[in-house]
């Protein structure tokens, strides 16, 4: 009798063919977004590391399909860019730049508040991301610390475009979208809005980073909405003395309830030119270096320890392509977009 056949040999990978999941070594989970989960992966041929966002097709609503199309058309140094996309019978996959510095929410929870110089640098780099997006007719609509990732050097990268909207200057969007605490008053007022909503959200983030608290609170979503619509911005007494007058002025100008005069907007707000000329940035930021990521970040993540919350995103050993979890459907809201 002949010898019994031995075990099958290792799988031969065709790296020249269509991109597939088995082209990557799947590693630990690092995040969970509104419509999908994210894992670190390594390309088996190039050894390059990426973040793999995967979404079950059953839950792949129109937002996710539009997000992929949007990311295919843009590339910016201050955005978490998409490098590949593919799908199988059950999932859609987006291969994104890997940011090992964690998100701002993680660092804010750890630090409570950030020194003013660090806040200024982050806000300055974020303004470059917003300017790029708005120039290309995109409003992000969900700016918050959770969606701002840091690379290992401390540069910021905006991510999660699943409720971003395409926009033509001069037209209004009417859909209610975003995370409530960061929504601009014109969204809540349901009167239509433009790109100025992103500058408002940046103001909320700057306030939160600088003070360790948010500018508006409410015991319910209704109360929070009323606070955003009607209350004035007041800096906490415990931190007001730690923040310069120029810093407070910039944040107040970003949190202008009138979108036409809000700092950063292209109408009476003066656009990015007025933003860069604000006294808070005037002598502290070299915009030429900052735009090409040659300016040194003030806050640099500690790369000797994990920059991800293990309780929110439990670490697991490497897995193969058959071991998938269905993404959750919790997250920001988006309703009824349209002109």
153 and 286 together in one domain: yes
The pLDDT of residue 310 is above 60: no
Q: What's the pLDDT at 13?
A: 60
> Is 200 part of a structural domain of the chain?
yes
The pLDDT of residue 93 is above 80: yes
> Is 60 part of a structural domain of the chain?
yes
24 and 108 together in one domain: no
The pLDDT of residue 10 is above 70: no
The pLDDT of residue 40 is above 50: yes
Cα 55 from chain centre: 18
> Is 319 part of a structural domain of the chain?
no
**CB count in 10 Å sphere of residue 267:** 15
> Is 335 part of a structural domain of the chain?
no
Q: What's the pLDDT at 170?
A: 84
**142 annotated active-site:** yes
Beta-bridge partners for 85: 94
148 and 258 together in one domain: yes
CATH number at 68 reads 3.30.200.20
- Is residue 216 within 8 A of residue 179, CB to CB? The reply is no
Q: What is the DSSP string of 22-49?
A: GGEEEEEEEEE-SS-EEEEEEETTT--E
The pLDDT of residue 246 is above 90: yes
179 and 283 together in one domain: yes
- Name the pLDDT band for 333 (thresholds 50, 70, 90): low
61 and 162 together in one domain: no
Q: Pick the closest to residue 273 from 283, 288, 263 (CA basis).
A: 263
CATH number at 148 reads 1.10.510.10
Name the domain boundary from 49, 80, 98: 98
Q: Which of 103, 142, 160, 337 is catalytic?
A: 142
The whole-number average pLDDT for the span 206-224 is 95
Q: What's the pLDDT at 5?
A: 57
Per-residue pLDDT of 152-180, as tens digits, reads 999 999 999 989 999 898 899 998 989 99
- Mean pLDDT, the chain, as a whole number? 86
Q: What does each C-alpha distance from 230 to 219, 226, 257, 339 come to in angstroms?
A: 15, 6, 9, 26
> Is 338 part of a structural domain of the chain?
no
337 versus 42: which is more confidently predicted?
Answer: 42
Q: Is 190 annotated as a binding residue?
A: no
- Name the pLDDT band for 283 (thresholds 50, 70, 90): confident
The whole-number average pLDDT for the span 248-275 is 92
Query: pTM for the full model?
Result: 0.85
- What is the total count of domains within the chain? 2
How far apart, in whole angstroms, are the C-alpha atoms of residue 18 and residue 13? 11
Per-residue pLDDT of 44-69, as tens digits, reads 999 999 999 988 877 667 778 888 99
How far apart, in whole angstroms, are the C-alpha atoms of residue 120 and residue 251? 10
How far apart, in whole angstroms, are the C-alpha atoms of residue 146 and residue 39? 16
Q: What is the DSSP string of 94-136?
A: EEEE--TT-BHHHHHHHHSS--HHHHHHHHHHHHHHHHHHHHT
DSSP-derived 3-state class of residue 256: coil
159 and 216 together in one domain: yes
275 and 139 together in one domain: yes
How far apart, in whole angstroms, are the C-alpha atoms of residue 186 and residue 140? 15
126 and 269 together in one domain: yes
Name the domain boundary from 291, 310, 325: 291
**Domain region containing 162:** 104-291
Q: What's the pLDDT at 329?
A: 34
Q: Which residue has the tokens 């295919």?
A: 72
- Is residue 324 within 8 A of residue 41, CB to CB? The reply is no
170 and 260 together in one domain: yes
> Is 272 part of a structural domain of the chain?
yes
- Name the pLDDT band for 304 (thresholds 50, 70, 90): confident
187 and 255 together in one domain: yes
16 and 150 together in one domain: no
- Name the pLDDT band for 322 (thresholds 50, 70, 90): very low
Residues sharing a CB contact under 8 Å with residue 35, sequence separation 6 or more, in sequence order: 55, 59, 60, 61, 63, 64, 162, 327, 329, 331
Lowest mean pLDDT among 7-21, 55-69, 266-280: 7-21
Q: What's the pLDDT at 257?
A: 97
115 and 50 together in one domain: no
- Name the pLDDT band for 327 (thresholds 50, 70, 90): very low
Q: What's the pLDDT at 162?
A: 86
> Is 312 part of a structural domain of the chain?
no
Name the domain boundary from 75, 98, 121: 98
Terminal C-alpha separation, the chain:
76
Highest mean pLDDT among 20-34, 125-139, 297-311, 318-332 belongs to 125-139
Q: Pick the closest to residue 247 from 281, 205, 298 (CA basis).
A: 281
Q: What's the pLDDT at 56?
A: 82
Q: What's the pLDDT at 4?
A: 57
> Is 331 part of a structural domain of the chain?
no
């Amino acid at each position: 009798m002949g010898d019994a056949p031995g075990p099958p040999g290792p799988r031969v990978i065709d790296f020249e063919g269509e991109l597939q999941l088995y082209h990557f070594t799947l590693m630990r989970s690092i995040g969970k977004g509104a419509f999908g989960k994210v894992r670190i992966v390594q390309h088996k041929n190039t050894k390059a590391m990426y973040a793999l966002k995967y979404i079950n097709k059953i839950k792949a609503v129109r937002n996710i399909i539009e997000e992929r199309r949007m990311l295919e058309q843009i590339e910016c140094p201050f955005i978490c860019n998409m490098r590949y996309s593919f799908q199988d019978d059950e999932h859609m996959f987006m291969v994104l730049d890997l940011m090992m510095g964690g998100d701002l929410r993680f660092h804010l929870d750890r630090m409570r508040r950030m020194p003013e110089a660090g806040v200024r640098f982050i806000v300055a780099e974020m303004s470059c991301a917003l300017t790029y997006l708005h120039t290309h007719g995109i409003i992000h609509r969900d700016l918050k610390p959770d969606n701002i990732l840091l690379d290992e050097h401390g540069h910021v990268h905006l991510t999660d475009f699943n409720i971003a909207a395409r926009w033509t200057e001069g037209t209004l969007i009417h859909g209610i979208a975003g995370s409530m605490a960061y929504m601009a008053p014109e969204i809540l007022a349901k009167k239509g809005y433009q790109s100025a909503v992103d500058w408002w959200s940046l103001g909320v983030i700057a306030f939160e980073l600088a003070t360790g608290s948010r500018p508006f609170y409410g015991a319910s979503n209704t109360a929070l909405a009323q606070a955003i619509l009607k209350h004035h911005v007041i800096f906490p007494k415990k931190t007001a003395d730690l923040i310069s007058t120029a810093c407070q002025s910039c944040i107040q100008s970003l949190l202008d309830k009138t979108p036409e005069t809000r700092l950063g907007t292209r109408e009476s707000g003066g656009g990015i030119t007025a933003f860069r000329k604000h006294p808070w940035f005037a002598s502290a930021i070299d915009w030429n270096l900052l735009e090409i990521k040659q300016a040194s970040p003030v806050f640099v993540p500690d790369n000797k320890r994990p920059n991800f919350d293990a309780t929110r995103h439990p670490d697991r050993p490497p897995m193969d392509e058959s071991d998938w979890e269905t993404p959750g459907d919790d997250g920001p809201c988006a309703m009824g977009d349209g002109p």
